């Protein structure tokens, strides 16, 4: 699988470079569709805006659906202030502490994109004596536009209005030591991994025993990404999302995480057991963890009423929903586990 890792990283970087906050994912979806087509598959765009593609395989009565999501955290303009600056409402769980001083783009509906920075109000430390003591919230933070505007009227003349999408810079970099650092590795790293798995199956001319589908979802960050679009014959849904790294958890950025339970509840016992068995038998570096604050596309599908087994795996990611960090080894181990489990 090593020869497919360059492709995984290349696709991860390309998808990360496309703004796709929840509710504004068309450009990312079009890119993902084109990439699957270039590999020789026949993806379709769902009504909701996700990407569904049949990857192949024999048994269509015991099919598996692999899911990753391309929507990310972001924000929406909720108010244009009297001084021309913007108040935001978050899309998903973008914590204002993590977003402070980040460059961003305001995507207007009809007048292009504008750049700015998300800052605390009165952000100059040499002026604001309460800077250190101020709790960061969307009520006291603002986007300072990189435009010569000082009033609401001037900002509106640019074409900016309430409801415009705000996308934050991912700041993607891969270090010489193999660490992958970026916003929105949750879950675009998994999109890259699934594309790499699809390339592996195609180029190695592999037909799996079970039929496999990929669903690259949208609206995962607000909870209903996978509440539809489960093909007939699917008996198992495996979310490929970020693995949690933090205090009291075993996983590191260099491992693949197998989630036994998240805040919604336990994953299917047999699925988790078989994933662990596949990892052990193939000497894959893995950890099993219980995630304290987490919900996945697989959870959403079962909550929507689908009668399927479900599981969750992913490369270890530290500083989730912030400036995230994983490692090439974590992506590689995730790809290896997909191969061990399904081929």
Query: What is the DSSP track for 276-337?
Result: HHHHHHTT--EEEEE-SS---HHHHHHHTT---EEEEEEEEEESTTSSEEEEHHHHHHHHHH
Q: Which of 142, 220, 221, 253 is flagged as catalytic?
A: 220
In whole angstroms, what is the distance from residue 67 CA to residue 52 CA?
Answer: 9
* Strands 86-91 and 74-80, bridge-based pairing: antiparallel
Q: Is-contact 166 107, C-beta < 8 A?
A: yes
For 154, 240, 326, the CA distances from 314, given in Å and listed in that order, are: 46, 5, 10
In whole angstroms, what is the distance from residue 264 CA to residue 174 CA?
Answer: 33
* Strands 51-56 and 324-327, bridge-based pairing: unpaired
Q: Is-contact 75 222, C-beta < 8 A?
A: no
Active site residue 221: no
For 40, 113, 114, 291, the CA distances from 152, given in Å and listed in that order, are: 50, 17, 15, 44
In whole angstroms, what is the distance from residue 249 CA to residue 84 CA?
Answer: 45
In whole angstroms, what is the distance from residue 273 CA to residue 288 CA?
Answer: 10
User: Active-site positions?
Assistant: 220
């Amino acid at each position: 699988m090593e020869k497919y890792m360059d492709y995984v990283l290349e696709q991860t970087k390309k998808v990360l470079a496309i703004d796709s906050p929840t509710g504004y994912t068309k450009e990312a979806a079009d890119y993902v569709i084109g990439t699957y087509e270039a590999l020789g598959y026949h993806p379709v765009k769902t009504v909701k805006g996700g990407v569904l593609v049949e990857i192949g395989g024999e048994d269509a009565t015991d099919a598996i659906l692999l899911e990753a999501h391309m929507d990310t955290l972001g924000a929406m303009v909720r108010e244009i202030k009297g001084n021309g600056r913007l108040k935001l409402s978050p899309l998903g769980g973008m914590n204002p502490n993590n977003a402070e001083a980040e460059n961003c783009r305001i995507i207007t509906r009809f007048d292009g994109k504008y750049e700015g920075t998300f800052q605390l109000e009165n952000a100059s430390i040499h002026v604001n004596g309460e800077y250190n003591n101020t709790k960061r919230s969307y009520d006291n933070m603002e986007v300072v536009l990189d435009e010569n505007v000082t009033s609401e009227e001037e900002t509106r003349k640019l074409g900016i209005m309430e409801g415009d999408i705000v996308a934050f810079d991912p700041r993607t970099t891969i270090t010489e030591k193999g660490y992958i650092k970026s916003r929105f590795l949750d879950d675009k790293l998994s999109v890259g991994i699934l594309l790499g798995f699809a390339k592996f199956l195609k180029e190695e001319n592999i037909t799996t025993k079970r039929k496999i589908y990929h669903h690259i979802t949208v609206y995962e960050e607000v909870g209903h990404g996978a509440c539809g679009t489960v093909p007939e014959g699917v008996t198992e849904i495996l979310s490929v999302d970020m693995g949690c790294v933090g205090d009291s958890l075993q996983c590191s950025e260099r491992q693949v995480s197998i989630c036994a339970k998240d805040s919604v509840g336990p994953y299917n016992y047999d699925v988790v057991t078989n994933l662990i068995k596949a990892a052990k038998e193939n000497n894959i570096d893995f950890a099993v963890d219980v995630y304290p604050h987490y919900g996945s596309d697989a959870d959403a599908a079962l909550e929507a009423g689908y009668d399927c087994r479900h599981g969750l795996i992913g490369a270890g990611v530290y500083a989730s929903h912030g400036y995230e960090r994983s490692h090439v080894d974590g992506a590689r181990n995730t790809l290896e586990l997909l191969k061990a489990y399904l081929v």
